[in-house]
Structure 1
Amino acid sequence: KQDEFTSNIVKRYSIHKGEVALGYEEFAKTLAKNIDKFEFITFDYGEKEARTDYSLRIYHKHQVYPFFALTPFVEDENEKPKGIELKDLFGKSDLTFDVNFSHLIDAFEEEGIKCHSYKTQMSMLVYFGVIDLLDMLLKNSDEKTYKDQMNKLKVLIDPAFMGERFKGVIFRKD
């Protein structure tokens, strides 16, 4: 049985299936109460609205596994990874799920912290001047260093990788 606070979040964001992040409100309240002026920037997987399914997943050695595919609750046995057991990943992996950015933004704004910007990671990094940094690197380093850093940046900004899937949000309290 879920508590009233969680039930209210579920109703407010029309979450019928999936994860509910707990702690945004308390975190925003703590920041607002203890810091007079700040800028808080975060990046993560997610969208502006709640998903309609489970996004909980496990990262282990640069591989991602849908959490429920490793449990008896798997809906389709063909989704179950071969040779991987949940018990083998315990304590050696990261668990993550998609952020419902509307929930995060609302939690901050209800504490008087303004959402200055919400963008894809690609747009946010361009906004921060990553292209200018690349130009400086091109002018002040060798070709190998430039290419190495450019390849790393591609992963972060390419829409096929993390550029669109990750979102960034900037909060400000003046």
Structure 2
Amino acid sequence: MRVSMDVTQSALAERSGISQGTIAKIERGKISASYDTVVALFEALDSMKQEIGRGLTAADVCSKDVVSVQSNDTIQAASNLMREKGYSQLPVFLGDTPVGSISERGIFEMMSREKSVEKVNTTVLSEVMGESFPVVSDNTPIGTVAGLMNSYNAILVSKRGVIIGMITSADMLKLI
């Protein structure tokens, strides 16, 4: 994102308060950025983009291909899909409406409570799903999204009431 905006590492460092060397190491994958560093970089990029008339929004960041499960699917179906796609969490829908979420952690917790693997495998998601991910409008500023990421593992993005994408920390880190 920095490169596409034609922003130098030095300019981003000056605006964000993060050293140019640290930004270079993050971009090369030599170090992982802390949450506070990511927020500072996103806020700096967002303010720089707004100055040139193109504020970053949720639609700019989200993955457009939302992989999800239905509330009447089984834990086994959700687990297979998570393993196949390499995801640790998925939104749960009832038709086109988000109604919950399922995560590896939630599945592991159920496995520790239940003695029967068959019971776990055949349990319907609506019986065990967690809270739904928050939904933001496609034009929500990236700074707001970054703040929500402090409390949620994922955020759904909607346009005119229709889910058009999903944002995870991996999506946010692609901007750096």
The normalised TM-score by structure 2 is: 0.29
Relative contact order, higher structure (CA 8 A, sep 6+): 1
Q: Which structure has the bigger radius of gyration?
A: 1
